[in-house]
Amino acid sequence: MRTTFITSAADVGQFPQVDGAEFAFLGRSNVGKSTLLNALVNAKVARTSRTPGRTQLVNFFDVHTGRGDFTLADLPGYGYARAPKDVQRQWAPLIEAYLRNRQPLVAALLLLDVRRDLSDDDRSLFEWLSRDVAPRGVRIELVGTKADKLSKSRQKPAMVSLARALGVTADAVHLTSATHRAGLDGLLAHLQGLAHSAPASEC
């Protein structure tokens, strides 16, 4: 597998043209988006930081797997109160424009920390995605992160609780750990399958 950085976009006009399927990573600033992305592709391509909220652009990566190649888009995290207010005001319109209009987008992966109760932001985003984005054919995939922070006996109940809170079945949640690489092979195979079956597009 080979992953290369394409570009960073601060506005819609800077989104790159791509062929094939694209998947978006989104979630709270401290959910571990960039860490999971790096673990998924087994390369340090996305910038990580101890300070949440560092991703302030949409970062695009080209992933060549040999089967079902695709693009990953790392979206700015939400819910980080210490981010500058002017930056926060820029995030929402950029994320919304991307999710509403990006033609190659096949699935939006909403990352949720399985250790935490859903925040109002998490719930609102899921409801908005289901109402305004899914109808245009974009899949909404739930990814539970940081499973390694829980004992094995608590992982499944946490996943069930998360699924119940959003009104979905537990098997609709991909449980993962970037640290232990748990669930990553299954998630990658799932994305490869979606990419392989997606119609060719360019935007």
Q: What is the dihedral of CA 63, 68, 71, 74, to 10 degrees?
A: -80
Indicate the pairing of strand 21-27 with strand 70-74.
parallel
Q: What is the dihedral of CA 178, 154, 162, 70, to 10 degrees?
A: 20
Q: How far apart are CA 1 and CA 134, in angstroms?
A: 29
- Please state the φ and ψ torsions of residue 125, each to the nearest 5 degrees: -65, -45
Residue 29: what pLDDT?
Answer: 80
Work out the percent of the chain whose per-residue pLDDT is above 70: 88
pTM of the model: 0.90
Residues 6+ apart with CB under 8 A from 145: 27, 31, 32, 36, 111, 112, 113, 114, 176, 177, 178
Read off the amino acid at residue 107.
A
Question: Do 95 and 129 meet the contact criterion of CB atoms below 8 Å apart?
Answer: no
- Inform me whether the pLDDT recorded for 77 exceeds 90: no
Residue boundaries of the structural domains of the chain = 2-197
- Inform me whether the pLDDT recorded for 196 exceeds 90: no
Q: What is the pLDDT of residues 37-58, one digit of tens each?
A: 999 999 999 877 555 445 578 9
Cross-strand pairs, 168:
none
Q: What is the pLDDT of residues 161-192, one digit of tens each?
A: 999 999 999 889 999 999 999 999 999 999 99
Mean of the pLDDT values across residues 114-125? 89
Q: What is the pLDDT of residues 5-42, one digit of tens each?
A: 999 998 999 999 998 999 999 988 889 888 999 999 99
Indicate the pairing of strand 21-27 with strand 2-9.
unpaired
What average pLDDT does the chain have? 87
Place domain 2-197 in its CATH homologous superfamily. P-loop containing nucleotide triphosphate hydrolases (3.40.50.300)
